[in-house]
Amino acid sequence: MDILNYTEAHQQFRMRLREFCQKEIIPNVDQWEADHIVPKSAWKRMGEEGFLCTNAPAEYGGHGLDFLYSVIVAEELARTNHTGLAAPLHSDIVVPYIVSYGSEEIKKKYIPGCTTGDIITAVAMTESDAGSDVAAMTTTAEEDGDMVVINGSKTFITNGINADLVVVAAKDPNAENPHQAVSLYIVEDGTPGFTRGRHLEKMGFHSQDTAELFFTNCRIPRENILGQKNMGFIMLMEKLQQERLICAIMAQFAVELMLEAAILYCQTTKDTTGKPMSKYQGMNFQLVEMMTEAHIGRVFMEKLVADHMEGLSVVKETCMAKYWHTDLTQKISNQVMDLIGEEATAERSMILRGWRDLRVLPIFAGTNEIMKMVVGKMSGL
Amino acid sequence: MDFALDKSQKEIQKAVRDFTKGEFDKDLGLDLEKEGKYPADILAGACDLGFIGIHFPEKYLGADLGLFENCLIAEELCRKDSTLGLALMMAGYGAECVLRFGSDGQKDQYLTPVAEGKMFSAAAFMEPGQAFDMRVMQTTAAKDGDGWVINGKKSMVLNGNSAGFYIVLCQTDDTAATPDKRLSMFIVDGDTPGITCEDVGRRIGCNMLSAADVTFNNVKVGADKLIGTEGAGYSQVNAYFNELRVLLSAMAVGIAQGAYEKALDYIKQREQFGKKLAMFHITWHKVADMAAQIEYARTLTYKAAWTFDKGKLDAGLASITKMTAAKAAMAVTYEAIQLYGGYGFMTEYEVEHFYRDAKFIDLFCGAISVQKDVIAETIVGKIK
């Protein structure tokens, strides 16, 4: 019995997206990696073809499709061997803040553009001294008549350069309790006082525009608040289930792709006597063990997707999955590199890009250490 | 038995440490790594101080010292900067084939320029599409008058584009039943007609050195370019790997030590949740694991180098050492990135290139399954 029920419509969507990726994404990936950014036109094309905000409600301009479409987008994009066109982050992590907490006006104003690809989004939480410890953030938001004034800086912001709209977490400096001081605001590109800092250089994710953002007396209308004032933490926590689940989904697909490459390599590479590597028992068992782990990961991930789609609270389990699946990417990608050996040390091998990109998965969206802290706390340990 | 370094070994270690403090610059290192450019000035300085080829005889500008001292240098260089360390240590990649098996004439001609930093060398062993298996080579050397003519293609040759000379492993006898009669090793001058190089481009690590796929098309060499005797190539390459694997282990130890020290500095000052990272219990356990891994990798590396210098190193211990040291370097550099959090993934905090260079060593000269095969061969290889 399948855990997830993909329908004919899902499959058609998948095939259409796969073809799109083959025609319009994969041929450009090397250039995007070299440029360290994906052109906005590629986002626009994704939007035109209906691949953005599939899960956003139709009445506000989204496609109103179920979460399985989001899973399909994540899987097919994983197959493009690059991370720059971060549609899952946009469609399924940032836009949901607007969908869930935006006012009617905000939803009507922004969701259609997010769906067409005219608006690329980012979420700005992390600061140089507030990573795992989100409460330590120092970016402030103070009301001034009809306006809110934001001051501070954010770092490691995915889509930081391309973003037309940033969901910014900022603190009310007058609030007494730091856990009830954070609010979420929408800041549009071009707002005076909002500038971008360095485009950060990284070990991987080269096509991804990760940047610092600066807010200096950045004035936005009061209506740009998401949800209630000082309730930012609760909103962040509510949305983390889906964010972590998406990390686990991405990790699972990466593991499966790595493994596919390793199996192909071991079946087609022969020693000087003509014996393929996959027939050597040491490698053979290693492949079998990796296939087993990938299978366990697939079942766990699909169960969480099904629970999440039913609206169940699986915060604890998604934290487990975020750490377990992203750790699995490290184990498997290193073993796959080992099997391929020295040939895998060249960028031309393509496996290497995956290995470099994956190293950040156990770090971002809450480090795996934070995931374990949450699980421990929720389990009464 | 004495585990302590002697006075002159301590002096060498200190001299290299002082050199890296004075000459290695973080920004320069990051730039060279990114651009794939060679630190020529730093190499010249290292050569002036005698750090390159310290294991060569004095008449070839060496200090007549052992693999042990060469390992101390490798460890200290890589500790300060993994990529700069690799660039300096691998400039003479393969030169030990001349040192250990070459004639006096060959040593005269090739070792001195390596020690002076005037010539890079390149071991050209691996072939395209062939897993790390040296028993049969598609590259051939055929008798041609007094000399030889070489044809074939070698893949991923470190220094392939810039080599003053290559050490090329060729098949010279197709009819030999066992690999130990089949292969021979040759020196080929870099400017010999018939050599073409295709740059491999950027790689996982060791990026200050180039790598190329090198094609030898009717490349003629004289009889004096054969290293040792005809048919000795297989045993030579394996003996060379023993030495190289210990040297790579020393680099791995240095890389691990360097990343560990950076992580220690970081956790002592970085605060989250109102306390220093160094005060979290999980950090304690991570640090303990890192320290343990460095300790066993270093102890084993020193033992293997010492054993080599006594003339007793076998392939099993060399491979155990390489496998262990590379694994330790991978685990330690991985945790260093993790302790740095998001900064660890950023180029400017350096630990990410220590991690990439550790994986380069892990995969270079035989990845883990190759090392296991070599080890097992020495233990149960004779059972029929």
pLDDT > 80? residue A179: no
Question: Residue A17 pLDDT > 90, yes or no?
Answer: yes
How far off is chain B from A203, nearest CA to CA, in Å? 6
CA B92/CA B303 separation, integer angstroms: 24
Task: Enter the tokens of residue A192.
Answer: 């005076």
Q: Are strands A147-157 and A211-221 parallel, antiparallel or unpaired?
A: antiparallel
CA distance A142 to A151: 9
Residue B354 sits at the chain A interface (C-beta within 8 Å): no
- B22-76 pLDDT, tens digit per residue, is 999 999 999 999 999 999 999 999 999 999 999 999 999 999 999 999 999 999 9
* Pick from A133, A202, A347: CB nearest B345: A202
The Cα–Cα gap between B52 and B74 comes to: 10
Outline where DSSP puts E strands in chain A. Answer: 121-124, 140-144, 147-157, 165-171, 182-188, 194-199, 211-221, 225-226
| Residues in A touching B126 (Cβ below 8 Å) | 342
Q: What is the pLDDT of residues B62-89, one digit of tens each?
A: 999 999 999 999 999 999 999 999 999 9
Read off the pLDDT of residues A41-99 as tens digits, 9 standing for 90 and up: 999 999 999 999 999 999 999 999 999 999 999 999 999 999 999 999 999 999 999 99
Query: Could you give phi then psi for residue B136, rounded to 5 degrees?
Result: -130, 135
pLDDT of residue B103: 98
| pTM (whole model) above 0.90 | yes
Cβ-based contacts of A283 with chain B (< 8 Å) = 369
Q: What integer pLDDT is reported at residue B165 of this predicted model?
A: 98
Residue A177 is predicted with a pLDDT of 84
**Interchain contact B311–A (C-beta under 8 A):** no
| B92, β-bridge pairs | B121
Contact B345 A347 (CB under 8 A): no
Tell me whether residues A133 and B273 touch, CB distance under 8 A: yes
Q: Is B116 exposed, middle or buried (0-12, 13-18, 19+ CB in 10 A)?
A: middle
Helix axes B82-89, B40-48, angle to 10 degrees: 60
What is d(CA A22, CA A272) in angstroms, rounded to the nearest whole number? 36
Mean pLDDT of A130-138: 88
| Dihedral of alpha carbons B83, B85, B86, B90, sign | positive
- Within 8 A of A368 by CB-CB distance, chain B residues are 338
Burial of B227 (0-12, 13-18, 19+ CB in 10 A): buried
Compute CA distances B303 → A17, A51, A341, B67, B134, whole Å. 57, 59, 26, 11, 27
Please tell me which residue of chain A has the smallest CA distance to B362.
Answer: A338
Q: Does A63 touch chain B (CB under 8 A)?
A: no
Within the 76-115 window of chain B, which residues sit less than 8 Å (CB to CB) from chain A? Answer: none
Q: How confident is the model at residue A199 (pLDDT cuts 50, 70, 90)?
A: confident
Buried b (16+ CB within 10 A) or exposed e, B144-178: eeebbbbbbbbbbbbbbbbbbbbbbbbbbeeeeee
Question: Do B38 and B119 meet the contact criterion of CB atoms below 8 Å apart?
Answer: no
> Per-residue pLDDT averaged across B207-223, rounded?
98
pLDDT score, position B136: 87
Residue B269 backbone phi and psi in degrees, to 5: -110, -25
pLDDT score at A134: 84
Question: In the predicted model, is pLDDT for residue A23 greater than 90?
Answer: yes
Q: What is the Cα gyration radius of chain B?
A: 21
pLDDT, residue B19, reads 98
Grade residue A271 by pLDDT with cuts at 50, 70 and 90: confident
* Predicted pLDDT of residue B174: 87
Rg (CA), chain A: 21
Residues of A within 8 A of B183 (CB-CB) are none
- For residues A187 and A224, is the Cβ–Cβ distance under 8 A? yes
Query: What's the pLDDT score for residue B243?
Result: 98
Question: pLDDT, tens digit, for every residue of B94-152?
Answer: 999 999 999 999 999 999 999 999 999 999 999 998 777 888 899 999 999 999 999 99
Assess A156–B contact: CB distance below 8 Å, yes or no.
Answer: yes
Does any CB of chain B come closer than 8 Å to the CB of residue A356?
A: yes
Is the ipTM higher than 0.95? The answer is yes
What CA–CA distance (Å, rounded) separates B162 from B177? 36
pLDDT surpassing 80 at residue A222: yes
pLDDT at B150: 98
What is the pLDDT at residue A10?
A: 98
Give yes or no: A19 in active site. no
Sequence-separated contacts (24+) of B281-288 with Cβ below 8 Å = B282/A369, B282/A372, B283/B339, B286/B335, B286/B338, B286/B339, B287/B263
pLDDT for residue A178: 74
Name the catalytic one among A33, A127, A212, A243: A243
* Mean pLDDT across chain B: 97
**Least CB–CB distance from B363: residue in A200, A204, A337:** A337
Residue A237 pLDDT grade (very low, low, confident, very high; cuts 50, 70, 90)? confident
Closest residue of chain A to B135, computed from CA coordinates: A272
Split at pLDDT 50, 70, 90, the class of B378 is: very high
- Identify the residue whose tokens are 């699972």: A252
Per-residue CA distances from A152 to A131, A169, A181, A219 (Å): 15, 10, 15, 12
Nearest CA to A97 out of A122, A63, A130 is that of A122
- Residue B151 and residue B193 in contact, taking contact as beta carbons nearer than 8 Å: no
Tell me, yes or no, if A315 comes closer than 8 A to chain B by beta carbon.
no
The residue among A80, A72, A86 whose CA lies nearest residue A26 is: A80
Q: pLDDT tens for residues B262-296? A: 999 999 999 999 999 999 999 999 999 999 999 99
The percent of residues in chain A predicted with pLDDT above 90, rounded, is 92
Q: What is the mean pLDDT of chain A?
A: 96
DSSP state of A209: -
Give the model's pLDDT for residue B1: 74
The first and second tokens of residue B103, run together, are 């004639």
Query: Chain A within 8 Å of B359 (Cβ-Cβ)?
Result: yes
For the record, the structure tokens of B76 come out as 């200290």
